[in-house]
């Protein structure tokens, strides 16, 4: 690490990024504003690099500052994760694997999977984290998650993906909707609908990338609902339509009030994968649990 870039400095840069001002960042770090300003100036002096532009007393990261900030997120995240694991180990717990799946809930299958581990479960402890930043692969890279359940394409060299199951994206409609009589749906069918989505950020391999954009059409009203279960309930209540992975809504269809329809005549298949950091050792707890999960899904494909 270059002179001036120690862990304390990286934490300061993250605080400045999160809080947007020296005053608020200093308060969050528990130091004085003058001490934080001194550390910033000293870091810039020792690295001979400007990390910020100062505009109206606010700090804006330079291009190099943004590059260091990106590294800080990974480095500090990894250190915090290891320190947390060390504390748990001292208390008698095994290695901890933090699992999350972004907006797609895992309440239906995760308890069954954990129960299937049997004696192997004693090799690690599992934390189930909800409400992680989207997409979940970013939470793995940043260290907030150790294993994420991700759909679509995963091609970031910082992570490794283990196959789970094949599925397809489907249109989700309230029962009795005028489109429910169609054999399949096309992008234009959604143009005048209230479209419910767990993210307004385009995701590679999903509907924006493969369905709407190629047809050069988008729903005119796009409403963000961060939880897939809530999307399904809003559709059931007639408050909009959506596109979701079939496995996530199959059981809810059986309860009535919701119908699913294929997208395009050929359908839109998608893959689901377990994602871990690429630098995980083969025998790490995250890698072992990922392999267990891949094997389990091969024997228990989702109900359609």
Phi, psi of 141 (to 5 degrees): -60, -40
- Residue at a domain's end among 42, 72, 102: 72
pLDDT band at 45 (very low <50, low <70, confident <90, very high): confident
Residue 295 falls inside a structural domain: yes
Q: How far apart are CA 253 and CA 120, in angstroms?
A: 35
Q: Is 140 strand, coil or helix?
A: helix
Tell me the CA distances in angstroms from 143 to 31, 148, 156, 176, 231, one per residue in order: 26, 11, 15, 44, 28
| Cα 23 to Cα 31, 116, 190, 284, distances in angstroms | 10, 50, 47, 41
> Residue 167 and residue 160: Cα distance in Å, rounded?
20
Domain that holds residue 61: 7-72
94 and 175 co-located in one domain: no
Per-residue model confidence as pLDDT tens digits over 95-151: 778 888 876 776 678 888 888 888 777 677 788 876 555 678 888 888 888 999 888
Residue 81 lies in a domain: no
Report the predicted TM-score, pTM, of the whole model to 2 decimal places: 0.67
State the total domains in the chain. Answer: 3
Query: Looking at the structure, do residues 147 and 183 belong to the same domain, yes or no?
Result: no
HSE-CB at 245 with a 13 A cutoff on CA atoms is 24
Q: Both tokens of residue 253?
A: 């269809």
Query: What pLDDT sits at residue 171?
Result: 96
The region of weakest confidence among 92-96, 119-123, 183-187 is 92-96
160 and 275, same structural domain? yes
CATH of residue 48:
1.10.10.10
- List pLDDT tens digits, range 228-282: 889 999 999 999 999 999 988 887 887 889 999 999 999 999 999 999 999 888 8
Query: Would residue 155 count as lying in a domain?
Result: yes
Residue 93 has pLDDT above 70, yes or no: no
Q: Is the pLDDT of residue 91 over 60?
A: no
Same domain, 190 and 65: no
Find out whether the peptide bond into 129 is cis, omega within 30 degrees of 0: no
| Whether residue 132 is found in the same domain as residue 224 | no
Say what the pLDDT of residue 215 is: 93
Q: What is the CATH number of the domain that holds 181?
A: 3.40.190.10
Among 41-45, 76-80, 135-139, name the most confident range. Answer: 41-45
The end-to-end CA distance of the chain, in Å, is: 51
Q: Does an H or E element contain 261, and which? A: strand 258-263
Is residue 183 one of the residues assigned to a domain? yes
Residue 1 has pLDDT above 50, yes or no: no
Instruction: Report residue 95: phi and psi, to 5°.
Output: -55, 140
Cα dist from 124 to 101, 153, 302, whole Å: 19, 28, 25
DSSP 144-201: S-SEEEEES----TTEEEEEEEEEEEEEEEETT-GGGGSSEE-GGGGTTSEEEES-SS
Judge if 147 and 220 occupy the same domain: no
What are 155's two structure tokens?
């091609």
Is the domain of 230 the same as that of 292?
Answer: no
- For the cut 60, the answer to whether the pLDDT of residue 92 exceeds it is no
Tokens 């605080």 belong to residue? 15
- Whether 254 is in a domain gets the answer yes
Asked if the model's pLDDT at residue 18 lies above 70, the reply is yes
From the list 242, 261, 239, 275, the residue with the least C-alpha distance to 150 is 275
Cis peptide before 135 (omega within 30 of 0): yes
SS (H, E, C) 82-126: HHHHHHHHHCCCCCEEEEECCCCCCCCCHHHHHHHCHHHHHHCEE
Tell me, yes or no, whether 293 lies in a domain: yes
Do residues 279 and 262 share a domain? no
141 and 280 housed in the same domain: yes
Average pLDDT over residues 12-40: 87
Note whether 177 and 42 are same-domain residues: no
Residue 58 resides in a domain: yes
> Has residue 133 been placed in a domain?
yes
| 264 and 130 part of one domain | no
Whether 97 contacts 147, CB under 8 Å: yes
Please check the confidence at residue 200 and state whether its pLDDT lies above 80.
no
102 and 249 fall within a common domain = no
Quick: pLDDT tens for 208-231: 889 999 999 999 899 988 788 899
């Amino acid at each position: 690490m270059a002179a001036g870039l120690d862990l304390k400095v990286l934490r300061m840069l993250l605080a400045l990024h999160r809080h947007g001002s020296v005053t608020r960042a200093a308060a969050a770090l528990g130091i004085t504003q003058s001490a934080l300003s001194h550390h910033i100036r000293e870091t810039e002096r020792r690295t001979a690099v400007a990390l910020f532009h100062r505009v109206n007393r606010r700090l804006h990261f330079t291009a190099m500052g943004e590059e260091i900030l990106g590294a800080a997120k990974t480095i500090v995240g990894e250190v915090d994760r290891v320190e947390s694991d060390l504390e748990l180990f001292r208390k008698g717990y095994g290695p901890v694997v933090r699992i999350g799946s972004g907006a797609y809930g895992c309440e239906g299958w995760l308890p069954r999977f954990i129960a299937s581990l049997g004696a192997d479960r004693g090799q690690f402890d599992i934390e189930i984290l909800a409400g992680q930043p989207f997409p979940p692969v970013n939470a793995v890279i940043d260290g907030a998650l150790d294993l994420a359940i991700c759909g679509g394409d995963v091609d970031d060299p910082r992570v490794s993906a283990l196959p789970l199951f094949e599925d397809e994206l489907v249109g989700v409609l309230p029962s009795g909707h005028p489109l429910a009589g169609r054999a399949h749906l096309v992008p234009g069918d959604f143009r005048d609908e209230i479209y419910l989505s767990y993210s307004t950020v385009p995701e590679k391999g999903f509907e924006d990338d493969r369905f709407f954009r190629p047809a050069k059409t988008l729903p005119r009203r796009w409403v963000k609902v961060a939880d897939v279960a809530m999307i399904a309930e809003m559709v059931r209540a007639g408050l909009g339509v959506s596109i979701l992975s079939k496995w996530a809504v199959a059981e809810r269809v059986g309860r009535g009030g919701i119908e699913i329809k294929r997208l395009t005549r050929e359908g839109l298949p998608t893959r689901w994968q377990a994602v871990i950091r690429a630098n995980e050792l083969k025998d790490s707890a995250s890698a072992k649990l990922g392999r267990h999960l891949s094997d389990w899904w091969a024997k228990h494909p989702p109900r359609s």
